[in-house]
Homo-oligomer: A and B are copies of this chain.
């Protein structure tokens, strides 16, 4: 089996959320046509389709945007967006799934030539039908050749200093790449990359591919939402964004600078770093910004 993502040049992906469940079939078709045309043009290695979960159990703070149930990401990726030529990486929150649902999901992603990213419960207090460990075991049993990715969160590393071990344990159960949460703090990511590097060196193992997620931020409210999600935003950066005349463009610039810095840092250490550009807003300007971001990420990765 050839690798799903390249280790020798930085892989680039583009991440979207499916439309709301309440979207009418006509509107869904419209959205899919526009998205397919846009995404088909992008110089990316794969399309990432997220599985939004209600994370209200994670914190007592009020969610700045209400949670809205979305269309099944596998259905979106392979149904509505079936015309998109790039391969698909489909997220799947496992906590509310049965064994049969997971089996059907793995079979579909595998038959479509995609990859799966399994996501556990958003908090320890959330009700759980299936744990992440069990989901990995089902995949190992039923679809051992299916490419897998895992989620990694640098912010967790600041608290428990074991996120590099979690990441490596995901590799041990079959993940060939990791995708970060949206990165606004270079420091938090370097903390994780540094520990990951020395651990791999000590164990004589290859570091996994890591996709750094960049997410344009178009408004003060989105910034607040990112904080709610647990994304670490340095004080100066929040200051810059809130004072900026064009918060969206400023966020694109700082995200790209962060990626460049992390790419340099990872290259020095032989960690295969790539980039996942998030486009989770429906606003025209934010979509345009994500497309610009992809093109600039490509330019950064092609520099010597």
Contacts and interface: CB of A to CB of B under 8 A. Distances in A.
Nearest to A201: B243
Contacts of A185: 187
Nearest to A264: B257
Contacts of A190: 234, 236-237
Q: Name the residue in A190, A236, A239, A261 with the highest tally of chain B Cβ atoms < 10 Å from its Cβ.
A: A236
A42 to B, nearest CB: 29
A66 to B, nearest CB: 32
A64 to B, nearest CB: 23
B234 A191 contact: yes
A65 interface: no
Contacts of A187: 185, 187, 234-236
A261 B236 CA distance: 14
A240 interface: yes
Interface in A212-254: 234-237, 239-240, 243
Nearest to A261: B261
Nearest to A265: B236
A193 B240 CA distance: 11
Interface in A143-200: 158, 185, 187, 190-191, 193-195, 198
Interface residues of A, number: 17
Identify whether the interface residues of A are mostly helix, strand, loop, or mixed.
Answer: helix
Contacts of A261: 261
A243 B198 contact: yes
Contacts of A243: 198
A289 to B, nearest CB: 20
Nearest to A234: B187
A32 B236 CA distance: 42
A236 B185 CA distance: 13
A69 B237 CA distance: 42
A76 to B, nearest CB: 37
Contact of A191 (B158, B194, B236): B236
A158 B236 CA distance: 11
Given A190-B234, A195-B239, 16 more contacts: A185-B187, A187-B187, A187-B234, A187-B235, A187-B236, A190-B236, A191-B234, A191-B235, A191-B236, A193-B236, A194-B235, A194-B236, A194-B239, A194-B240, A195-B236, A198-B243
